[in-house]
Structure 1
Amino acid sequence: MTGTADGTADGFTPSCPTFSWGHPALRAEFAAAADGTPRLVRLGPGGTAVDPEVALPLVELTAVGHGSGWSGPRFTGTALGSRLAYRGHRDAGSSDWVRLTVELHDPVTALTAFVELTSPVGLPVLRSRVRLRNDGTDPLVVQSVSSLLLGGLPSPDVLDVHRARNDWLAECRWYAEPLRDTVADIGVDAHQHDSRAALTLTGRGSWPTDGHLPMGALTERGGGRAWVWQVESPAGWRWDLGERAHGTYLAVNGPTDAEHQWRARLAPDEEFTTVWAAVATGSTGTAEAGAAEAGAAEAGAAEAGVSRPGGGSALDAAFGVMTAYRRAVRRPHPDHGALPVVFNDYMNTLMGDPTTEKLLPLIDAAARAGAEYFCVDSGWSDDTVDGGWWDTVGAWRPAARRFPDGGIEAVLDRIRERGMVPGLWLEPEVVGVHSPVASALPPDAFFQRDGVRITEQGRHQLDLRHPAARAHLDRTVDRIVGDWGVGYLKLDYNVVVAPGTCAPGDLSPGSGLLGHAHAYLAWLSDVLDRHPGLVVESCASGGMRMDGATLAVAQLQSLSDQQDPLRFPAIAAAAPTAVPPEQGAVWAYPQPGYDDDLIGFTLGGALLGRIHLSGHLNRMSERQLGLVRAAVDTYTAIRGDLARAVPFWPLGLPGWTDPWLALGLRVPDGPSYVSVWRRGGEADVSLPVGHLAGREVRPEILHPSAESGGAAVWDRDGHALRVSLPRTPTALLIRLHAGTD
C-alpha cells in the first residue's frame, strides 16, 4: 500500500520517477510528461497506463495574470498547470485508508501545490483535493483550482454521460445522452488541436444541489466500465468533460471566478484548500485486471458490501462503491446503525400549524404506530395570529398561544411519556426581518453586499464566520437540546442566496459564501461534539442541500417536500444514487381517506430508506392504523440490513413518469431486497437481478401484509424476478433469499 519510489529523510522523493500508489482495489500510476509535470496515467484495479501526454496535469488553476493556455469553456490547459514542477511525494496510510501527497511548485510565482489523494482500502474510489501555499513575496489572486482531474478515459464515441436534475419537488431525476452529442468530432487530426467544446455542469448559490446534483457518471458502451463522481462542496461547484487526444477527460472544481464570483487572495505564506471530490469505478467483469488484483478487488468489494465485479451493471457497481465510500467518510454516529422511525407532523398533516390540542392526539397515534422519534415541525415559535412565522423567525422561543397549558415542555413531556424521543424543527441560518434578533445582532453578523444587509423573501442570512452569529445559535441549540431535552433537530434552510456575501475582508461574494458554508458545517460538528446523542436531519426545502460535505456531518437527509404519493416513488427509487439508504428520509404520509392500496403504496416507498412517517394517524380506523403498524414492524425487522446494503436498479435508473419503478438493495453475505411500484402500464413486469444469475432464489413478499393480489416469482433461466400487480397504484417489498451458486 505504499509508493514504489524511495523517500528522503523527510518522506519526500527528490525526483520524478514513474511511481505507483494505492491498494489492490485501486492502483494509481504516475509518470512525467515532456514538460516535466507529473500525470496520473492509470487508475483502477486493472488496465494499462495511458501516454503521459494524453493524461492531465495533477493540478489546473488560473490566477489573475496567469490564465488559460488557450481560450474556451474547458478547465484544462491552464498556464499555471503546465508550470507546476514535481518536487516530491509522500506516501502514508493505515489499515483502513491510504494517502498520498504530491508536492508541486511553480518557479515563476513561487506557488506550491499539494495534491492530496486518499482511498479507503478495498474500494475502487479516489478522493482528491488540492492545497495551495504562496511561497513567494507577492500576493497571488487565484480564480479557479481543480479538486480532481482524470484524463485518458475512453473516446467520447463510446461513452454515455449521466446527470441528475434536482429541482424542488422533483429531485434525483437522472438522464443520459451520448457524450459525443455535446463534444462534437471536429477531426482532431486535421487540425492538430483538441476541440474546445466541453460538457459543463455547475451549481450556484447557497443551495448546492439546486438544479442538478453535484455528481455525474460515465458508462462505456460495450466495454463494461463506469465512473461515478461527486463534488463535495457545500456551496458552488463545477465539472466538465471534454476530448483530449482522442480520449476523454474529467475536471472537477469547487467554485470558480467565472461561474461563482469566487476568488482567493493568497498573501505570502497564506494557504487555500479546495473542496474534496471523489470518483468511483465499476465494472461488469474482471477480464482487464490481473488475476491477483482482480481477486483482491473482488474480496475488498465484497467486504465493503459493493456489487461483485461479475454481476449487475457497471453503473450499479460504481454507485455501490460510492455508497460504501460515503459511509467511510462520514462522521460516526449511532443513528447510522439504529435507524429509528421518525414521525414528523408537517407533510400533509399540520403543515406548520402545531398546537398542543392538535399535537397530543397525533403523539398518541404515532406511538401506537411504532414511531420512535416525534418531531414538531415549523410554526412552534410563531406567536402571531395570522400564521406569519416566515419573517419573524430567529429568536426560537415557543409561542405561548400555541401551547397554553404547560408550554411546549408539556408537549415534549407527552412525547417522552409515550416512549419516543422529542424533536423540533429549526431554521438556524435565517432571521426574519421582523424578528428582534435582526436588530440585536451586529450588522456584520449577516450576509451583506456593498455594505448593505441582504434580504431574501423577508429574511436575513446569518454569516456563521461571525462570532456573534455563532454564539446566538450555540445558545439556541444548548437551550433546546440541553435544557428542554430535545434529541432530534430538523435543520431547514428555505432561502437561496447567490452569489454570496462580501463581508469586510472578503475578496468576492463566492469566497464569502464558501467561507460561511464551511463555518456552518464546523458549527454543526461542534454541536454534535457537545451533544453526541443528538440526531440531526439536514433539510433545505427538501433536497436542495443534498451534497457530500453535508452528508458527511448530518445523520439524515431530507429528500423532498413532494406531497403527491404517486410522484414520491420516483424520488425514493433514485435517492440512493446521492444518499446512503440509511440517511435518506422518505416521507410516508398515509391518510384516513386513502384506500388500503394507497396506504400500502405510500408506506412501501419508505421501507428501503428512512421512514419519515406523517399523516393524520389519529383519525384512522383501527384497521387502517394496523396497516401502518404492520409496515413499521416490517421496517424495524429489516433495518439492520439497510445500513450495510448497496443499491441496484433492476429497471435502470427511474424516470419521472415511468409506470413501473424498482429499487434494489443488496446485503453483503445476506439477502437482497427489491421495492417495486406500479403506477400504470401492464400488470406484469420482469426485473433483471444480475448478481443472482444462475442461482436458486426464493422471493418473499414482506409488504403489504394485507392481501394485495401481488405475486413475485423467480425465473432462474432469465435471472429475473417476475412481478405481477393487478391493481394500480400498488407496491411490493420483496426479500430475495438466494441459494449457493
Structure 2
Amino acid sequence: MGLNPINLAQSTKRIYEQNLGSWSTQEFLPMGCLENEETGATFLWQIENNGSWYWEVAESSELMFPTVKDHNLMITNDGNEISGEIYFVLSGPTEWESQWHKSLKPGKSFITVPTAVSVVNGGFEKAVVEMTKYRRKIRRPNKDNEKLAVIFNDYMNCLFGDSTTEKLLPLIDAAADAGCEYFCIDCGWYTDTNWWAGVGEWKPSAQRYPGGIEKPIKYIREKGMIPGLWLEIETVGFDCPNIDNIPKSWFFRRHGKIVSDQCRYPLDFRNPEVQDYATSVIDRMVNEYGVGYIKMDYNINSGIGTEVDSDSLGDGLLEHNRAYLAWLDSIFVKYPDLIIENCGSGGMRMDYAMLSRHSIQSSSDQTDYIKNAAIAASCATALTPEQCAIWSYPLSGADPEETTMNMVNAMMLRIHQSGHLATLPANQFNLVKNGIEVYKMIRNDIKEGLPFWLTGIPKFEDPWFTFGLECDNCAYIAVWRISGEKILNVPLKEELQKYQHVEPVYPQNTLDCAYINENHTISFLLEETKTARIFKLY
C-alpha cells in the first residue's frame, strides 16, 4: 500500500481515493490525511464538492518534471529540487477518473473546486480540531447552529414512511411531552401508494390525512413544536402524477437517452424552469402548509453526468451541482430561518459544499443502535458536532439500557429523535425525556466544543469507544462499553489534565462511575455490556 523507493529515476505509484457521481460520500468522505511520523507534521484535507472528486498522494519524479531549468515546480523557495519528495493533489472531477473536461473560450474563466488543508504539529486528532474551527468559519450564519433544536422525525424504527393522521397524533403528543422542538413528517405524505416512485408533485395524500395534512401540521404547532416535511426536490419518480406534463429538457441525458436510477429521474438544476419549479414547491411548503423544517433527501446517484449543453459528462454534472448550490443559497436568502436538513439516503452527500449551507446533516440510516453508536462516536471527524444529526430510536419494551444508549448516541451531537414514543413504557420514556432535558442544559457547550477521542477513532469491532468535546471550562465525554472487561483505564490527553473531577451527566441516577487518578489516568466502570454513559470533566 505504501510508496516504496524502487527506482531512483521515476515513480508511477500513487495512493488515491475518488468519488464518481452526485453522491459525494457514497463510499469515502472527500478527505484524507498525511502524517510525517519523523517530524510530527500532519496534513488533513477536505474537498468541498457535492459530486465527483479525486485526491492523490505520490512521489514527485524527473518523469513528471523533465528538467530543472525548464520547470519551476521542481524548485522550492530555497532553491532545492523537489524530485523525490511526496506531494498530494486535491481535485474535483478529473478527465481520467470522472470524464470531466472543459474547453475555455477566449476571455472565459473557470474556478476549480474549493479545498481546505489543516496543517498541525501533531497527529490526526489535532488536525481535526483545526478543521472543526475552519468548518465553523465557512458555514452560513444561522440560528439553528446556535440553538441546536431537538427534532423528532417519524421515520426510523417508527412509521417508516407510512404516516396517517391517526398514527401521527399520539406521536405528536409524546414528542411534545418528551421535549422535542420540531416534528418532521417523513416520506410518503404525498402518495397513497408507492412513496419511492411517487415523488415529484408534492401534494398531500387525501387518503392518509382526512381533512388535509393541515390538521396534523396545525396540531404540531398547537403542541408548541415547529412542523416539518420530507422532500426530495432533485428527482421525479416514475409514478409521479404529473410525470407526463414535465418537459424532457428538465432531465439528465446520456447517449441521447434520459437518465434514470431506481424508478426516478434526476432533475438538471442548470435549467431555470427546474429552479422555478423547485422554488414553487418550497413556497407552498412554507406559505401554505406552515412548514419551518424540511428534510431534503436525495436517494439516487445521477451517475457521471449529463451531455446536455456541456463539454463533457463530468462538466454537465459539475455545473448542475453548482447550480443546485446557487438555488439553495437563494432559498436561504428568501427564508433565512427555514431549517433544511441535508440528507442523502443518510450520509451519502456529507460534504462541505453542502454543509457550508445546511445547518444540519443526517449522518446515517443505520437501524442497529449498536452500530449507530460507533458512527456517532466518529462523526466529528467529518463535520461539526452541532451539524451532525444522530438517530435515537428506542424500541418499546426493550431493555432500558437500549434506550439509554440510543440517547447517548445523539446527545453529544444533534438529537434526531424517533421510535414509537407513544407506546414506550414509563421507565423508557422517562429516560428519553431526561436525556432531552440534559441535552438542553449542555447544548450551548456543544456548539463550541472541540472533539477528542481517548480511545482513538472507533471501529465497529472495538469493545469500548469514547468521544469527547472540550469546551471553555469543562469537557464532556461519552463512553460506550460494547463488550470486554467492565473497567477501562485510559490516559488523559495533556490538554485535559487540568481537569481534576469527573461526574455522571446521563443517566443521572447511574451507579456506574468514573474517576481521575493521580497519574492523569481516567477510569470508567460500566457494569454491563451494551451500555453507554456521558460524564463531565471539570
Q: Could you say which residue in structure 1 is the equivalent of 2:333?
A: 529
Which protein has the larger Cα radius of gyration, Structure 1 or Structure 2? Answer: 1
Q: Could you say which residue in structure 2 is the equivalent of 1:733?
A: 534
Tell me the distance in 2 between the aligned counterparts of 1:515 and 1:598. 45
Q: Secondary structure at the match of 1:436?
A: coil
Whichever structure has more strand as a proportion of its residues is 1
The answer to whether residue 94 in structure 2 is matched with residue 274 in structure 1 is no
Q: Specify which structure has the bigger relative contact order, considering alpha-carbon pairs within 8 angstroms and separated by 6 or more residues.
A: 2
Q: Given the alignment, which residue of 465, 469, 473 partners 2:278? A: 473
Give the aligned residue type for 1:377: D
The answer to whether residue 444 in structure 2 is matched with residue 640 in structure 1 is yes
Change (3 A) 1:467 1:724: same
Q: Could you say which residue in structure 2 is the equivalent of 1:184?
A: 4
Q: Secondary structure at the match of 1:319?
A: helix
Q: Given the alignment, which residue of 235, 244, 256 partners 1:430? A: 235
Tell me the distance in 1 between the aligned counterparts of 2:13 and 2:267. 40
Q: Within 5 Å, which residues of 2 pair with 1:272-311?
A: 272-284=110-122
Q: Deviations over 1:445-486 (max 9, x none)?
A: 111113321121111111011111111111111000122110
The answer to whether residue 212 in structure 2 is matched with residue 396 in structure 1 is no
Q: Within 5 Å, which residues of 2 pair with 1:85-234?
A: 181-188=1-8, 193-234=9-50
Could you tell me the TM-score, scaled by structure 1's length?
A: 0.68
CA contact (8 A) 2:132 2:450 kept: yes
CA contact (8 A) 2:474 2:499 kept: no
Percent identity reads: 42
Tell me the distance in 2 between the aligned counterparts of 1:621 and 1:664. 31
Tell me the distance in 2 between the aligned counterparts of 1:410 and 1:262. 49
Give the aligned residue type for 2:173: D
Give the aligned residue type for 2:256: G
Q: Secondary structure at the match of 1:548?
A: coil
Q: Within 5 Å, which residues of 2 pair with 1:24-35?
A: none
Q: Given the alignment, which residue of 456, 479, 485 partners 1:682? A: 485
CA contact (8 A) 1:441 1:469 kept: no
CA contact (8 A) 1:447 1:461 kept: yes
CA contact (8 A) 1:673 1:733 kept: yes
Q: Could you say which residue in structure 2 is the equivalent of 1:600?
A: 404
Tell me the distance in 2 between the aligned counterparts of 1:693 and 1:409. 51
Q: Given the alignment, which residue of 406, 413, 431 partners 1:609? A: 413
Change (3 A) 1:734 1:436: same
Q: Given the alignment, which residue of 446, 454, 458 partners 1:654? A: 458
Q: Secondary structure at the match of 2:445?
A: helix
1:270 Cα deviation after fit: 1.2
CA contact (8 A) 2:306 2:317 kept: yes
Q: Secondary structure at the match of 1:196?
A: coil
Give the aligned residue type for 1:203: N
CA contact (8 A) 1:225 1:281 kept: yes
The answer to whether residue 529 in structure 2 is matched with residue 713 in structure 1 is no
CA contact (8 A) 1:282 1:316 kept: no
Give the aligned residue type for 2:482: R
CA contact (8 A) 2:24 2:351 kept: yes
Q: Could you say which residue in structure 2 is the equivalent of 1:309?
A: none
Q: Could you say which residue in structure 1 is the equivalent of 2:103?
A: 265
Q: Within 5 Å, which residues of 2 pair with 1:562-581?
A: 562-581=366-385
Q: Could you say which residue in structure 1 is the equivalent of 2:293?
A: 488
Give the aligned residue type for 2:259: I
Q: Secondary structure at the match of 1:354?
A: coil
Q: Could you say which residue in structure 2 is the equivalent of 1:255?
A: 93
Q: Could you say which residue in structure 2 is the equivalent of 1:382?
A: 191
CA contact (8 A) 2:499 2:537 kept: no
Q: Could you say which residue in structure 2 is the equivalent of 1:35?
A: none
1:282 Cα deviation after fit: 2.1
Q: Deviations over 1:390-428 (max 9, x none)?
A: 112100000000001x21001000100110000000000
CA contact (8 A) 1:225 1:315 kept: no
Q: Within 5 Å, which residues of 2 pair with 1:615-630?
A: 615-630=419-434
Q: Secondary structure at the match of 1:685?
A: strand
1:652 Cα deviation after fit: 0.9
Q: Secondary structure at the match of 2:454?
A: coil
Could you tell me the TM-score, scaled by structure 2's length?
A: 0.94
Tell me the distance in 2 between the aligned counterparts of 1:562 and 1:457. 20
CA contact (8 A) 1:391 1:433 kept: yes
1:367 Cα deviation after fit: 0.4
1:222 Cα deviation after fit: 4.6
Tell me the distance in 2 between the aligned counterparts of 1:538 and 1:693. 33
Whichever structure has more helix as a proportion of its residues is 2
Q: Within 5 Å, which residues of 2 pair with 1:364-379?
A: 364-379=173-188
Q: Deviations over 1:587-611 (max 9, x none)?
A: 0111222111111011111111000
Q: Secondary structure at the match of 1:271?
A: coil
Tell me the distance in 2 between the aligned counterparts of 1:234 and 1:522. 12
The answer to whether residue 267 in structure 2 is matched with residue 458 in structure 1 is no
Q: Could you say which residue in structure 2 is the equivalent of 1:242?
A: 58
Tell me the distance in 2 between the aligned counterparts of 1:554 and 1:517. 15
Tell me the distance in 2 between the aligned counterparts of 1:693 and 1:607. 21
Tell me the distance in 2 between the aligned counterparts of 1:521 and 1:703. 39
Tell me, which stretches of 5 or more residues in structure 1 are unaligned?
1-180, 285-313
1:655 Cα deviation after fit: 1.0
Give the aligned residue type for 1:720: T
Q: Secondary structure at the match of 1:662?
A: strand
CA contact (8 A) 2:393 2:406 kept: yes
1:582 Cα deviation after fit: 0.1
State which drifts further: 672-681 or 686-695: 686-695
Q: Given the alignment, which residue of 342, 352, 357 partners 1:538? A: 342
Tell me, which stretches of 5 or more residues in structure 2 are unaligned?
61-82
Q: Deviations over 1:654-676 (max 9, x none)?
A: 11211111111111x32111111
What is the CA RMSD across the aligned residues, in angstroms? 1.2
CA contact (8 A) 2:260 2:302 kept: no
CA contact (8 A) 2:154 2:418 kept: yes
Tell me the distance in 2 between the aligned counterparts of 1:716 and 1:218. 35
Q: Deviations over 1:232-254 (max 9, x none)?
A: 01111001001233431111111
Q: Secondary structure at the match of 1:677?
A: strand
1:691 Cα deviation after fit: 3.2
1:619 Cα deviation after fit: 0.3
CA contact (8 A) 2:397 2:425 kept: no
Give the aligned residue type for 2:270: R
1:443 Cα deviation after fit: 1.1
Tell me the distance in 2 between the aligned counterparts of 1:571 and 1:583. 14
Q: Secondary structure at the match of 2:17?
A: strand
Tell me the distance in 2 between the aligned counterparts of 1:705 and 1:349. 27
Tell me the distance in 2 between the aligned counterparts of 1:693 and 1:213. 29
1:694 Cα deviation after fit: 4.6
Q: Secondary structure at the match of 1:375?
A: strand
Tell me the distance in 2 between the aligned counterparts of 1:198 and 1:692. 36
